[in-house]
Amino acid sequence: MSGERAPAVRSIASVKGMRDLLPPETAVWAAVEATARRIFGRYGYGEIRTPILEETELFVRGVGEATDIVGKEMFSFPDKKGKSLTLRPENTAPVARAFVEHNLRERALPLKLFYIGPQFRYERPQRGRYRQFYQIGAELLGDPGPACDGELLVMLACFLRALEFPQLLVLLNTVGDEASRAAYRAALRAYLAPHRNELGEDSRRRLDTNPLRILDTKVPAERELLAGAPALADFLSAECRAHFAAVCAILDRFGVPYRVEPRLVRGLDYYTRTVFEITAGGLGAQDAVVGGGRYDRLISDLGGPEVPAIGFAIGQDRLLDVCPESFRRRALPPPPVFVAPVGGVPVEEALAVAEELRASDVPALAELQPSSLKAALRRADRLGARRVVLLGPDELAAGELTIKDLASAAQERLPRSEALARLAREKEAEPGRGAPAAPGEQETARLARDDKETV
């Protein structure tokens, strides 16, 4: 030893607003994703995976220049040749790009796609708001009819019920078509213009760029002012009204609880007609868990054909934050069986027992370093094991195993195959088994049979 001090080395932390997801929490994330795949698959959705980087212009044109996302939240940078690239802040514009690029309208329409993956927005990090966050989303492309809006929301409700959310409320509105919105925009501007000085900086800017967005302001004084504003509902065309009524009728029939929120407009430019949000209590200011709506113009805005579409994006980070305990418990992996060689039995013999357990799908850990029985039991306990298999020279010679219950300290010596079979049976009875079908999952089907019942 030289006695010299090593120079202090700066330890490196993750980038601001980006976090590591660690086990066992990642098991719950995976179970949520498996549930999405299973439920969306039932409705005919196939998975799409788009690149994380896109040309910046895709979002400028697709999401809209006047939106917060494009205006202030994008991670954009030039590549080595100076072309501006952006880490995707959302996945609908990339899906629309892929639809055009691969000429997917040649397939049977409507085309149903879902995605699961990270998104990036340069926002002020806080609970429920990260710079890298995850979305689970679905898009239905190529059909303008209200049955699509309805079916998509029924699927979303089915998914949330499979996660065992006890209550569910979709906040629903229609923002009309281009014509109704243009008329409304003019009326809203005319109403707000004399009050310009009472508006905050954000809303003043929006008055010029995107006045509809002022409707979802959170500033109390602005909310008061808006109470007397003209209502979007009065500017809707007969077709838009009929479309909305048909969507509501489907939600009624299939038992999806909703509330019409006349001021819900959503932040993205591309929405037409149906828009919706699902919020959850207990999340503070960041309470929106799902956002979505119809976007009949997006694909043509991106240079593609006229393809009406509708979709939603679930914020997976926030969803996990409020994920019901019952689902969470079942999603966690079952406790491992710990195999301890004792009395000088070589660790390889413990490994062999662990391998046999694993072969029957029982999670098993073997003590890999020769150690005392006491140390092995302590480690088993820290690793969350409930059963320890003890393998001493007597057991080895007799072809037997001792199963010890850590909680009661009771132990029983059994023939090897019998002991292994018992541990396999016990695992089957454990609650945590990946992504099990939830008891509430049949709920939508049951409600669908009874028009009048609501949750």
CB closer to ligand ATP, 318 vs 387: 318
3-state secondary structure (DSSP) of residue 389? strand
- Site of tokens 């092995």: 376
Beta strand pairing status for 288-294 and 337-341? unpaired
Spell out the alpha helix ranges (H) of 114-237: 146-162, 178-192, 201-209, 220-227
Please report, as a single letter, which amino acid is at residue 69: I
CB 176, min distance to ligand ATP, A: 19
Q: What is the nearest approach in angstroms of ligand ATP to the Cβ of residue 256?
A: 18
State in angstroms the smallest separation of the CB of 63 from ligand ATP: 9
- By C-beta, is 75 or 191 nearer to ligand ATP? 75
Place of tokens 């037997």: 400
Residue 414: CB minimum distance to ligand ATP, A:
51
Alpha-carbon torsion angle 421, 422, 423, 426, nearest 10 = 120
Question: Among residues 93 and 353, whose Cβ is nearest to ligand ATP?
Answer: 93
User: β-pairing, 84-87 with 387-391?
Assistant: unpaired
Q: How far is the CB of 36 from ligand ATP (least distance, A)?
A: 14
User: Which residue's CB is nearer to ligand ATP, number 88 or number 105?
Assistant: 88
Catalog residues that contact ligand ATP under the rule CB under 6 A: 90, 121, 123, 128-130, 133, 135, 267, 286, 288-291, 313, 315, 317-318
From residue 236, alpha-carbon distances to 96, 127, 273, 443 in Å are: 27, 37, 9, 34
**Closest distance between ligand ATP and the C-beta of residue 318, in Å?**
4
User: H or E segment at 396?
Assistant: helix 393-398
Least spacing, CB of residue 132 vs ligand ATP, in Å: 8
| Closest CB to ligand ATP among residues 277, 356 | 277
Nearer to ligand ATP, 128 or 308 (CB): 128
Closest CB to ligand ATP among 187 and 320? 320
Provide, rounded to whole angstroms, the least separation between the CB of residue 13 and ligand ATP: 19
Contact call for residues 292 and 311 (beta carbons, < 8 A): yes
Instruction: Report the C-alpha gap between 315 and 325 in whole angstroms.
Output: 18
Identity at 309, one-letter amino acid code = A
Residue 299 · residue 306 · CB < 8 Å: yes
The DSSP bridge pattern shows strands 170-174 and 258-260 to be parallel
Q: In the complex, what is the shortest distance from the CB of residue 321 to ligand ATP, in angstroms, rounded to a whole number?
A: 10
d(C-alpha 406, C-alpha 404), whole Å: 6
Q: CA-to-CA distance for 437 and 164, rounded, in angstroms? A: 10
Q: Read off φ and ψ for residue 342, nearest 5 degrees.
A: -130, 165
- By beta-carbon proximity to ligand ATP, the closer residue of 319 and 332 is 319
Which residue has the CB atom at the shortest distance from ligand ATP? 315
Strands (E), 30-131: 46-47, 53-55, 75-78, 84-87, 111-120
3-state secondary structure of 205: helix
Which is closer to ligand ATP, CB of 311 or CB of 335? 311
